Chain A
């Protein structure tokens, strides 16, 4: 089980001081938060990608490349990489490069992006979001697995004898998660490839995501990648903590009330009841998240949103201390209890390499890179 944080990289005024960080301050704060995540023992740091203010991370591999040099163990990921408006050729190259730079500590989460104008700014049309996500990923998947690619699709220039460079580290493509809030097409896509499926989970009631993840698990089995219980599931989450739960409520309320997404809407009490947002003591967060697998089944990755809505860096770092020292160690134990042996751990480069080698040894031909029904839970994969 992997625990980590994800950030959208918003530049939001702190409602308690009315001060807004500069882009420089916020970019540096995100880099500090990424290093802190490793320091407090988390497994994953994931960064969003945006091309419109008030969000700063337009160039995720630049920031993740810096973090690769500054960290040693943590997996660097995205939340999300825009599979619709980016050229899949550039994604293949950028992230294979990052994989080498980071010694394999890289995976990606694909998303479509929901801001209408961003599509035409990149020459695309939001009404074709799903077809773009499907076709672009089909090309990306091949670019990482086939040396020379001939390609013709609807959305980009055809390719003849194109070789994406550098080749993925150890000949193994970065692991891919597909994120979606409501589209069964994306759950189907994740299941088809045997990729991971990530449910953002933080802005909607969990009943909605339970159905979507149930569908993904069922289709994962249908496509022959393992049983439904072995599908690779990630969940988002959100918490704000203080030793005394009432202090957490008091401190977080101005940030909640003015937050970019849900601020000026439901009360914090209603929102915490209806979504996984938990504001209270570390024990309350432990109880809430230890219960997630009752709803979603045993899963592989839990990411928390900890740094949005104008929370100052100092507060975010304190929150990460609590998360890393008091919450995650207990959750690790809770999630390990009665976890079936055949449920895989969160994917790492080492586990993917081991799995690929076993598949190569057992089968003279690979099914388009999908090593189906090969159960390898190598010790290297364990975090």
Chain B
């Protein structure tokens, strides 16, 4: 079996949180699909609540604590990301955004991403498409077409809720992510932190005509 690395970022604040619940359901569905492809998957869950102070300290000092650094390194070398946030005041939570603000903008390039969100009512579901999807597009990640929004009421719908019910959406999204993760080679890449830009010369001419 080949191996792939999946990182799950959950920005839920309460414990237990419905955001984490959604993240876990999406993870299980994705790992099952990958298993069906004969792909073994290692999963690392990053609970942003546990990193809250470290994230703010990084914003202030410019460097990550060892704990935050480990999370960012896992993300940088992941084959896939499941990112789930509660919707606060019409968008992803501030903590969720702050975490991605301290990640190097090039670290998520080509990363397959499944986006999910939770909220009290269905009225905020478009935040996935007007806020979260552009965030990952900016980072040059590959966001799967199906995103999953779970309102409080969704947790009361059954598996037979028909097309569009929560289990159906989770299954479709997991299938889309698993196919990209299967083909990802990100976790086996070797990154050279000292790679110089193409055409660099220590005596100049760099950037010139």
A interface residues, Cβ below 8 angstroms from B: 128, 130-131, 134-135, 138, 153-154, 184-185, 187-189, 191-193, 203-205, 208, 211, 215, 261-262, 264-266, 270-271, 274
Contact = CB atoms under 8 A, between A and B. Distances in A.
A188 B202 contact: yes
A185 B207 contact: no
Given A188-B202, A211-B193, A265-B60, A128 B65 contact: no
Contacts of B61: 203, 261-262, 265-266, 271
B24 to A, nearest CB: 31
A203 B62 contact: yes
A205 B67 CA distance: 13
A204 B62 contact: yes
Interface in B110-165: none
The 4 closest A-B pairs by CB, nearest first: A265-B60, A192-B202, A131-B207, A184-B194
B194 A205 contact: no
Given A128-B207, A131-B208, A265-B57, A185 B196 contact: yes
Contact of B200 (A135, A188, A193, A265): A188
B201 A134 contact: yes
B193 A184 contact: yes
B195 interface: yes
B90 to A, nearest CB: 28
Nearest to A135: B204
A265 B56 contact: yes
Interface of B: 56-57, 60-63, 65-66, 193-197, 200-209
B196 A184 contact: yes
B98 to A, nearest CB: 13
Contacts of B196: 184-185, 188
15 contacts: A128-B207, A130-B207, A131-B204, A134-B201, A135-B208, A185-B197, A192-B202, A203-B61, A208-B63, A265-B57, A266-B60, A266-B61, A266-B65, A270-B57, A274-B65
A134 B206 contact: yes
A134 B60 contact: no
Contacts of A266: 57, 60-61, 65
B56 to A, nearest CB: 7
Nearest to B53: A266
A256 B209 CA distance: 47
A135 B205 CA distance: 7
A128 B60 CA distance: 25
Contacts of A262: 60-61
A186 B204 CA distance: 12
A185 B205 CA distance: 13
Contacts of B63: 203-205, 208, 274
A134 B204 contact: yes
Contacts of B202: 134, 185, 188-189, 191-193
A274 B61 CA distance: 11
A135 B202 CA distance: 8
Contacts of A203: 61-63
Given A188-B196, A205-B63, A274-B66, A138 B204 contact: yes
Contacts of A261: 61
B27 to A, nearest CB: 31
Given A185-B206, A266-B61, 20 more contacts: A131-B208, A135-B206, A153-B208, A154-B204, A154-B207, A154-B208, A184-B196, A185-B196, A191-B202, A192-B202, A204-B62, A205-B63, A208-B63, A211-B194, A262-B60, A262-B61, A265-B60, A266-B57, A270-B65, A274-B63
Contacts of A211: 193-194
A85 to B, nearest CB: 16
A117 B205 CA distance: 25
A130 B204 contact: no
Nearest to A153: B204
A270 B53 CA distance: 12
Contacts of A192: 202-203
Contacts of B209: 154
B63 to A, nearest CB: 5
B19 to A, nearest CB: 27
Given A185-B200, A265-B57, A131 B66 contact: no
A128 B193 CA distance: 20
Contacts of B208: 131, 135, 153-154
A221 to B, nearest CB: 15
Contacts of A153: 204, 208
B150 to A, nearest CB: 35
A205 B200 CA distance: 28
Contacts of A131: 204, 206-208
A134 B62 CA distance: 25
Nearest to A214: B194
A337 B106 CA distance: 44
Contacts of B57: 265-266, 270
Nearest to A182: B193
Given A185-B196, A270-B65, A264 B60 contact: yes
